[in-house]
Structure 1
């Protein structure tokens, strides 16, 4: 008997796959998972006081119906076992919440370990009165994702039992607005050393936690799959402030330098002390390093950091660093676009190559102790038009430098710059050279700059 043609075999295989997928989608929820979810639901109340008729996801959780195909926020696998739980309420402008905790803290959300295939827990915009992260979640063997966002009244330490979550890939906790929603994670234990066993963890993210303190464990190099670590107690870039309370303390473990898979490290707004570990020079895949708004000190390990060939963002501002800026070798910081070392105690002259880093767009050294001339940019990056250079409040002297592009932002107020302003500065978006020693006439084109500050100089035609 002749073999069927290749096209016929593929057609049969495709029909078989479609049939299997159809069966997977149509699988009914297991009785045990349905019972666990109904017990889980009983721990919540769900009503918006301003709009009682607003549909709640729990309204679809009806006994006797199929949780896999008709219950909102529930996802199942092909065998009818629940893999994902999403509790997503509404948060209205007057700070009322639709979903609330109604069960005692001792039993609230403790039913989830009964879901043997559960991989993801996602809870957003709800109000829990006195709940903490349930320790029993550490028994959910297949759990991969924990995502908590904007949940009021949800507090407590990260349970050490979470170190048993050998499949965990993402831990994400965003308090969002602590003054309104409560402090989020709290306590003084920081990250339990038991969590160092999470070898599959890819992302660890916690944000705005005014009652959470403690340390990073030395064994953190056990996170052998980690790609992103964010432990921010505020963010001046996005929210305009760093919290005065809370934040992790102690030195930054040198073992962080062993995390070869790490691409993003942000420890903004904590109270870390000591120096930046030189081992950071071994973070060969790192693209972002943000250590600003801490209490770090010592010399910045420029040599080691400059070896990070993929580094794009380096934010070190508002720390107690000291020392000089070293000469830059021709091949250092080849991909660096953002460098901010403002409000530190570094001193000395700007390196000759600093404005010629091939990708540099933002360069900020505000309120440090720099002197000498600002080096002029050359042809190496003269085509960059989106630069933002800020050398405010220093002791810089000499003429204003040649800049790396026709447009951009240049700020150097409260220095000792002298001679006249180049006419080429007329194409800038923002120019602040106030309180220097500049003289002569301000070029007509410069007077037309959209945002211009030139007070405190000796111009013949300004003000």
Structure 2
């Protein structure tokens, strides 16, 4: 499941990059009437009143609009005025709610979107994305701001119907109503889209379009369209072809996570030879990998993952010379990994950055020799049926940040030559193979490593000394790795940054230090070892703890110090005394 989520996160990341490019395109097209705030010295009184009316309907707990005071509204945060006539032409109030930081949602605007914005009759650009307008509908009155060319209302937790009044905005080039993570908006009729003939970028991801059968003819009436995102829209139909396609400029198409359940080869998008980015994962497509892929010579990123596809990828991929990202995880290739690599277009070897092949029923040995993929950043061949050793060419992928070969039947030895060249590596996942790590005791691993999973590989009997040099670890799993040693004192310093620590099913001995209280971990598994002594106070952030099958004794601590603890496993120890009353909390 983690691999699926990670792959989805990658597709989303790629889509966000495209979103930024689309945004830049439309911004540049309207920049002739805008300029930095600090050069504007005038403000039209009626528009200042409209802005203050809009502000009055907002909640602003972080005082993001603290600059909205005084007469010079063109100097207020997010407000941009025309250099020619001082009219407000741009309102850019993107929040921080899409930021991965934990406190991001405190840096957002909320409340209501007031119709006082109608006073901004010259407004061309409106961005309120990533704020917190929970339970609010997309405002119908936006359809009366006829000069709008750019609207971004994505990630706003909107509910209800998408107003067809948006079809009145004949100048609109960019429309983003993405609610993919909320899925609380809907439309039962999208014919209004056909009026937006200037539209270049359209994103309705997360909008429930279950009842829309003939959505493609409507989209086909947008001749300027370059980017189309309809992720998780509950679409059920996909035409085999378009008799006359107007989508000659379409470069990005993302139809991921719908429910087409149709043959992969009978689809209109194979005829769009201008496509550069095609994402059609998790749609229930079935059949063999289509030969039509070989005709799409402009393709840069291709995601066919999580469909019911089978057989080897087609042999006619040699003309796809711009391929950078290729996702075919969770399919049924059911063939040789060597043959798969041979079918990849040689003209793209040095362009590929992402290659995801997990859970694809690939068989055989990894090839001993392979032309290096000099720009490869991400390689996932986990959960297949691979055998044999890990080849040395993996150590030549100097730009690799993510490597997952877990859940195969690989064997043999891994030494410095396999790993020392991976200077950029952050994720190393080799779990559930029969690999033996044989590195010198003085070996220093790539310093950028943050996530290591080596479960069921052979690391012992000594505790791995190279872990000492990894001062930025987030997650470590060295369970069942034949370690028969005490934990060195330095390790608990290294482990202080960990979110998850798994060292179960070894013969690790020693006592748990009192400093364990200051770890930042949320999950610790030290079960089935030989730890002794008493249980110290535990990290305040801990939610999952397994200390079972050890030699721990003495009473339980009066205060575990873990208010968020959800799972506690202590059986098969020699713990004595009473259960502390703090457990009731």
Contact 2:355 2:378 in 1 (8 A): yes
Question: Does 2:251 correspond to 1:142?
Answer: no
2:168 is the alignment partner of 1:55: no
Relative distance call for 1:89 and 1:288 in structure 2 (3 A) is closer
Shift of 1:351: 1.4
Q: Is the 8 A contact 1:327 1:352 kept in 2?
A: no
- Please give the alpha-carbon distance, in whole angstroms, between the structure 2 residues aligned to 1:413 and 1:306: 32
Partners of 1:459 and 1:126 in 2: CA distance: 53
Distance 1:322 1:367 in 2: 12
State which of 287, 304, 309 in structure 1 corresponds to 2:423. Answer: 309
Gap runs ≥5 in structure 2: 1-30, 34-81, 83-123, 125-148, 150-185, 201-216, 580-585
Distance 2:341 2:502 in 1: 36
Q: 1:397 — aligned with what?
A: 509
2:309 aligns to what? 186
CA distance in 1, matches of 2:388, 2:304: 27
1:55 Cα deviation from its structure 2 partner = 2.5
Are 1:454 and 2:557 counterparts?
no
Q: How much has 1:260 moved relative to structure 2?
A: 1.8
User: Structure 1-normalised TM-score?
Assistant: 0.67
Secondary structure at the counterpart of residue 294 of structure 2: helix
Deviation at 1:202, TM superposition (A): 1.8
Partner residue of 1:32? none
Q: 1:198 — aligned with what? A: 320
- Who is 1:213 aligned against? 334
Corresponding residue to 1:388 among 481, 500, 517:
500
Task: Tell me, yes or no, if the aligned pair for 2:538 and 2:561 is still in contact at 8 Å.
Answer: no
When structure 1 is superposed on structure 2, of 137-146 and 164-173 the one drifting more is 137-146
Q: Does residue 437 of structure 1 match 2:551? A: yes
For residues 164 and 188 of structure 1, the distance between their equivalents in structure 2, rounded to whole angstroms, comes to 19
Higher relative contact order (CA 8 A, sep 6+): 1
How far residue 425 of structure 1 moved from its aligned partner, in angstroms, is 4.3
State the SS of the aligned residue for 2:485. Answer: strand
SS in 2 for 1:410: strand
Q: Distance in 2 between matches of 1:372 and 1:66?
A: 69
Contact 1:247 1:271 in 2 (8 A): yes
Q: Residue 255 of structure 2: SS of its match in structure 1?
A: strand
Query: Are 2:352 and 1:226 equivalent residues in the alignment?
Result: yes
Match of 1:370 among 479, 483, 489: 483
Contact 2:379-2:403 within 8 A present in 1 as well: yes
User: Over residues 273-296 of structure 1, what are the superposed CA-to-partner deviations in whole Å (9 max), with x where a residue is unaligned?
Assistant: 222222111111111112222232
Structure 1 pair 254/138, CA: closer, same or farther in 2 (3 Å)?
A: farther
- The aligned runs of 1:94-105 (5 Å cut-off) are 98-101=235-238
Q: Secondary structure at the match of 1:121?
A: strand
| C-alpha distance in structure 1 between counterparts of 2:552 and 2:352, whole Å | 51
In the alignment, does 2:243 pair up with 1:120? no
Secondary structure of the residue aligned to 1:171 is strand
Structure 2 match to 1:9: none
Cα distance in 2, alignment partners of residues 337 and 69 from structure 1: 43
The equivalent residue for 2:366 is 252
Question: How big is each residue's C-alpha offset from its partner over 1:16-73, in whole Å with a ceiling of 9 and x where there is no partner?
Answer: xx9xx9xxx9xxxxxxxxxxxxxxxxxxxxxxxxxxx95244x4587xx785559854
CA distance 1:447–1:436, change in 2 (3 Å): farther
Structure with greater proportional strand content: 1
CA contact (8 A) 1:86 1:122 kept: yes
Give ranges in structure 1 of 5+ residues lacking alignment: 1-12, 26-52, 92-97, 176-183, 234-245
Structure 2 CA distance for partners of 1:199 and 1:347, relative to 1, 3 Å = farther
SS at match of 1:265: strand
Quick one: distance in 1 between partners of 2:298 and 2:556?
65
Asked if residue 323 in structure 1 is aligned to residue 436 in structure 2, the reply is yes
Measure, in 2, the Cα distance between the counterparts of 1:328 and 1:361: 23
| Matched positions, count | 376
1:163 partnered with 2:294: yes
Retained in 1: the 8 A contact 2:484–2:509?
A: yes
Shift of 1:170: 0.9
What SS class does the counterpart of residue 280 from structure 2 fall into? strand
Please give the secondary structure, in 1, of the residue aligned with 2:508.
strand
- Give the Cα separation in 2 of the matches to 1:426 and 1:112: 64
- Corresponding residue SS for 1:296: strand
In the alignment, which residue of structure 2 is the partner of 1:337? 450
Conserved 8 A contact 1:387-1:404 = no
Post-superposition shift, 1:268? 2.9
Question: Shift of the alpha carbon at 1:272?
Answer: 2.4
Q: Displacement, 1:340?
A: 0.8
